[in-house]
Chains A and B, each alone.
Chain A
Amino acid sequence: MSGEPLLEVTDLVKHFPVKSGVVVDRVVAHVKAVDGVSLTINEGETLGLVGESGCGKSTLSRAILQLTAPTSGSVKFLGEELVGRSRRSLRPVRRRMQMIFQDPYASLNPRKRVGQIIGEPMELHGLANGRDVDRRVQDLLDRVGLSAEHASRYPHEFSGGQRQRIGIARALALEPKLIIADEPVSALDVSVQAQIVNLLKDLQTELGLSYLFVAHDLGVVRHVSDRVAVMYLGRIVESAPAGKLYDNPLHPYSNALLSAVPIPDPKLNISRERLVLEGDVPSPIDPPSGCHFHTRCPWATEVCTVDDPRLEELETSHVAACHHPRNLVGQG
C-alpha cells in the first residue's frame, strides 16, 4: 500500500434543501444527509460502511460517485478531484468506479437482453466493439458464475441471486478499480447471500478490486471488510480495522449496534450482555446539539449536549468521536 490512496474523501457534505411555500419556494431548512465525512480506500481494500436507515450511507455513496452533486468537500479518485467537474469530463473516471445496487429487480432494464446490459457500456466507453463485445460478455458471464447462453435472455427470466450476478458482471465490464456496493445482498435469501459474498471476494482476489461495501447487516460487513466505518446521522462516529471494531467497539453507538444483532445461538443469546437503545434516530433536519448521539446514549453527560466530539485516534488506527469511549485498553 504505497503512495496515495485510491479514493480520498475529505469533509464531504451533502445537504438537501427543504422547501415550503405556494407560489415562491423558500428554503426553510436543510436535511443534513452527509455532514462532513472523510474516508480513504486503498487499492485492493474493502471498506465496510454500516449504519441504520437514514444515516446517510446511501447518499454518501452517491455523492462519492457524483451521482448527486456534493454541497462541499472533496472527492479524490486516482489522484483527480471529482467535485465540481462536468459530466463529460467525469465520464472517463466513472468507468473506473462502478456501482452494484441493492435491488436486482429494479436495477436492470427489463427490455434489454443480458448481453446488451453487459455489453453496451463497453461499446459506449470504446473498450470493445463488434464480435469482441460478445466474447467479453461471455467471459464476464462465466466469471460471475452464469453461462454463455444467458446472454440472450431477459432479466425477468432470472432469480434474485442470478440478477445480482448480472449486476456484478455489468459493473466489471468497464474494468473498474473501485466498486461501490450499496446493500448488495440484503434483498437476497441467506443461502444466496453467501454465494454472492463469496463471489465478490473471489473477484477481489482475481482482479485486485477495491470495495466500498455499504450495508446494515453487521455480520456480512465483518465478513467482507478490511476496515469498517460506522455512520450515525450523517457523520462517521467510529472507524477501525474490522477485527478491532467488532472486538472492541469504542463508540457507544457501535456498541449498541453490535449488541442489537441477534446471534443464532440460543444459549449465547441468553448469557451475553445486551445494550438495547431506547427511541429512534432523530431527524437529520434538526440533529441534536453537541454529540448527535447524546439523546439515545446511556453514558451521555452534560458535556455531550453542548460539545460536539471530533474523530480522534484513541487507539492505533482506531478513531472514534466520543467524550466517553467504551472498552479503552487500560480501563477494563
Chain B
Amino acid sequence: MILSVKDLTVSFATDGGVVRAVEGVSFSIDKGEILAIVGESGSGKSVTAQTILGLTRAPNASITGSVEFDGRDLTQLDDEALREVRGKRIAMIFQDPMTSLNPVYRVGEQIVEMIRAHQKVDKKEARESAVDLLRSVGIPNPERRVHDYPHEFSGGMRQRVMIAMALALDPDVLIADEPTTALDVTVQAQILRLLDKLNRERGLAVILITHDLGVVAEVADRVAVMYAGQIVEDATLDDLFYDPQHPYTWGLLGSLARLDQPRPIRLAQIAGSPPSLLNPPTGCRFAARCPHEFDKCSEPPPLHGDRCWLDPADKRRLRDVDGHIGLRKDVAS
C-alpha cells in the first residue's frame, strides 16, 4: 500500500456549532491503482482529499486519525516537511483549472518555477522538461504553447496543463478532485483517456474524486462511496455496479438518466436530503431517507464493505426494482 488513510475525522468549529465534515474514514491505495471516491456535495469527499495534503489545517479545524505515506504520518508532519511531500510525491489537480493557474505568468514559466523549486536544474533544462511535459499530456505545438498565458488555453487544454504540472516532479500519487466536471463531454473523454494512460504507463496511483458514476465506471479500479461524512460502501468496480450493498448506492445508481437503457417513465429518486453535519444522526446516517429502515438502524452500523444492517440475502431481493438496481419507494422490509 502506498497510501493509507486510517480512521480520519475532520471537524470544523463554526458559529453554528461543530461541523463533522469527515468521520472515521479509512481507505488505502496501491501503486498503479485508481480509487474513486464518489459522493454528492457535502459528503466530505473533497475535505478527505484535501486533508491528505494538509490543506484543511486551520485554527478552527480538528483532525484525528492518520494518513500513512512512505512510513510517515502526514497529519503529524510540520508545514515544511509537508511541503516536500506536496507536489513532489503527492500531486493534486482541481476542478477549475483557471483558478489554479496564475493568470499573469506564462504557462512555461509556471512549470519551470515549480520544477526549480524542487530540483537542482538550470533554467534551460527545466524549460526543456516543461515542453516535454506539455507534449506528454497531448498539447499540440508545445514549443510555442509554453510562451502562452493561461487565458489563451481552452478549458480542456488548461486541465492538461494542470496535469502536466502535477506530473512534473514524477509523483507517486495524484489526487484529482472533480477533474472533468467543468469540461464538456467530448473533452472529458480526452482527459479521462489521458489519466488512464498515465496510470498505466507510470504506475501512478490516482485518487479520483467525483460525483459522476459514469466517470467512475470508465476509469476506476475500486470505489468508495461517501455519504454525510462517512464511507458507506467500499467495493471493487464490478461489485459496486453489479452487486452494490448499500441502499444509498442503489439510490444513486437508480436515479441516473442512463443512455444505455430504455428510458423509464419516471426517474427513481431518493426522497429528502442529506442530514446536517452539525448534528448528524447517531445511528445509520441514511436511515431517514431509506425505505428499508428497521429498528436496528438506530445503532451506528460498522463498515464491513458497507455500512448497512440489512442481511445480504435480503439486500439482493430489496435492491431489485423492475429488473434494475434501485431504491424502492414504499416497502417495509
Residues of A within 8 A of B (CB): 52-53, 159-161, 189-195, 197-198, 201, 216-220, 222-223, 246, 256-269, 274, 276-278, 280-281
Contact = CB atoms under 8 A, between A and B. Distances in A.
Contact of A262 (B154, B211, B218): B218
Contact of B186 (A159, A190, A195, A260): A260
B55 interface: no
Contacts of A195: 269
B273 A269 contact: no
Nearest to A217: B257
A201 B253 CA distance: 20
Interface stretch (B81-89, B101-109, B169-177, B259-267): B259-267
B258 A263 contact: yes
Contacts of B218: 262, 269
Interface of B: 40-41, 154-157, 184-190, 192-193, 211-218, 237-238, 241, 251-253, 255-260, 263-264, 266-270, 273
Contact of A220 (B215, B257, B269): B257
A201 B266 contact: yes
17 contacts: A52-B185, A52-B187, A189-B41, A189-B211, A190-B213, A190-B256, A191-B269, A194-B270, A216-B184, A219-B258, A261-B214, A262-B192, A262-B215, A264-B217, A276-B186, A276-B189, A281-B154
A20 B237 CA distance: 53
A323 to B, nearest CB: 21
A256 B189 CA distance: 10
B255 A222 contact: no
Given A192-B40, A264-B217, 18 more contacts: A52-B184, A190-B252, A191-B255, A191-B270, A193-B257, A193-B267, A198-B267, A216-B184, A218-B259, A219-B256, A219-B259, A223-B257, A257-B185, A261-B259, A262-B217, A264-B213, A264-B214, A265-B260
B189 A274 contact: yes
A266 B217 contact: yes
A260 B211 contact: no
A280 B259 contact: no
Nearest to B212: A262
B135 to A, nearest CB: 15
Contact of B251 (A191, A197, A219): A191
Closest 7 CB pairs of A and B: A262-B214, A219-B257, A189-B40, A194-B255, A52-B184, A194-B269, A194-B267
A190 B212 CA distance: 8
Contacts of A276: 186, 189-190, 193
Nearest to A279: B140
B189 A260 contact: yes
A218 B185 contact: yes
B125 to A, nearest CB: 30
A266 B238 contact: yes
Contacts of A189: 40-41, 211
B273 A263 contact: no
Contacts of A161: 273
A269 B218 CA distance: 6
A276 B192 CA distance: 11
Contacts of A261: 185, 214, 259
Contacts of B258: 219, 263-264
Nearest to B289: A191
Contacts of B188: 260, 262
Name the residue in B213, B255, B267, B270 with the highest tally of chain A Cβ atoms < 10 Å from its Cβ: B267
B286 to A, nearest CB: 11
B329 to A, nearest CB: 11
A265 B217 contact: yes
A194 B266 CA distance: 8
Nearest to B262: A243
A217 B212 CA distance: 12
A107 to B, nearest CB: 18
Nearest to A159: B273
A264 B256 CA distance: 9
